[in-house]
């Protein structure tokens, strides 16, 4: 509980509050049953490219549209106060991570592409990871970029699905060593996609 309060204090110090961005989790017309495996291929690649653009341009509105919706998180989590957890942990870390990723890629040149291991997509059943609803999980997507003549990459720790759409739920690592913005697995080269977790 102390950790949640520390993050809440940090968020208040930054004067940042969450406001719903883009279509709500319940209003989008393209929604499919939660058990439907989300799309991959070009549509996912476009989403990853949009995340890179949001990081590099400090576009919080675009980054927010790619983040797991608050209304979905409240339905998903089997914890005491999912709304507070979303606001003061999940969203707070996302904002901190966006700044950390932007700082880490300040000298980045062109976006090269992504590296995704689709074999790592797994169904997380209800009851696992403090969730009351199941979802599809995609860990360790790599964002590749050129810096001078060198290819470098950073990870996106975790995408999860809501009604057939992939959303970032953890940009940086979860858990993490300290309550600060943290870049997941920066690497020289393309890095290794995938991983575990929820």
Cβ pair 134, 6 in contact under 8 A: no
Q: What percent of the chain has pLDDT over 90?
A: 79
Q: Is residue 70 part of a domain?
A: yes
Rounded to two decimals, the pTM is: 0.86
Residue 78's SS3 state is coil
Domain span at 65:
2-9+33-188
* Confidence at residue 46, expressed as pLDDT on a 0 to 100 scale: 95
Q: Is residue 15 part of a domain?
A: no
User: Phi then psi for 104, rounded to 5 degrees?
Assistant: -70, -25
Residue 79 CB neighbour total at 10 angstroms: 11
Half-sphere exposure of 34 (CA within 13 A, CB side): 16
Single out the residue of 104, 196, 191, 94 nearest to residue 144, CA to CA. Answer: 191
Strand segments (E) across the chain: 111-115, 122-124, 135-147, 150-162, 165-170, 184-188
pLDDT recorded at residue 30: 67
**Residue pLDDT, tens place only, 85-132:** 999 999 999 999 999 999 999 999 999 999 999 999 999 999 999 999
The answer to whether residue 108 sits within a structural domain is yes
How confident is the model over 158-168, as pLDDT tens digits? 999 999 999 99
In whole angstroms, give the CA distance from residue 192 to residue 195: 9
Domain count, the chain: 1
pLDDT at residue number 4: 42
Residue 196 has what pLDDT?
76
Question: Does the pLDDT at position 3 exceed 70?
Answer: no
Is 149 among the domain residues? Answer: yes
- 72-81 long-range Cβ contacts below 8 angstroms, 24+ apart: 72/25, 72/162, 72/163, 75/25, 75/132, 75/133, 76/131, 76/132, 76/133, 76/135, 76/162, 77/130, 77/131, 77/132, 78/127, 78/130, 78/131, 78/132, 79/130
Asked if the structure places residue 17 within a domain, the reply is: no
Instruction: Work out the pLDDT band at 198, boundaries 50, 70, 90.
Output: confident
127 within a domain of the structure (yes/no): yes
6: pLDDT strictly greater than 60? no
Confidence (pLDDT) at 31: 83
Q: Are 49 and 112 in contact (CB under 8 A)?
A: no
User: Per the domain annotation, does 125 fall within a domain?
Assistant: yes
Work out the number of other CB atoms within 10 angstroms of the CB of residue 6.
Answer: 12
């Amino acid at each position: 509980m102390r950790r949640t309060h520390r993050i809440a204090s940090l968020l208040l110090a930054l004067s940042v509050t969450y406001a719903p961005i883009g279509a709500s989790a319940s209003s989008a017309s393209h929604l499919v049953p939660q058990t439907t495996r989300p799309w991959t291929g070009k549509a996912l690649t476009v989403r990853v490219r949009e995340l890179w653009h949001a990081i590099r341009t400090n576009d919080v509105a675009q980054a927010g549209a790619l983040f797991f919706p608050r209304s979905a998180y409240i339905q998903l989590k089997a914890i005491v106060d999912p709304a507070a957890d979303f606001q003061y942990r999940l969203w707070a870390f996302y904002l901190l991570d966006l700044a950390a990723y932007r700082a880490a890629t300040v000298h980045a040149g062109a976006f090269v592409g992504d590296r995704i291991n689709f074999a790592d997509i797994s169904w997380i059943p209800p009851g696992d990871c403090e969730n009351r609803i199941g979802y599809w999980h995609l860990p360790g997507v790599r964002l590749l970029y050129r810096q001078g003549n060198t290819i470098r990459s950073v990870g996106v720790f975790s995408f999860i699905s809501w009604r057939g759409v992939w959303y970032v739920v953890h940009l940086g690592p979860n858990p993490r060593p300290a309550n600060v913005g943290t870049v997941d697995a920066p690497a020289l080269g393309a890095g290794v996609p995938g991983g575990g977790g929820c």
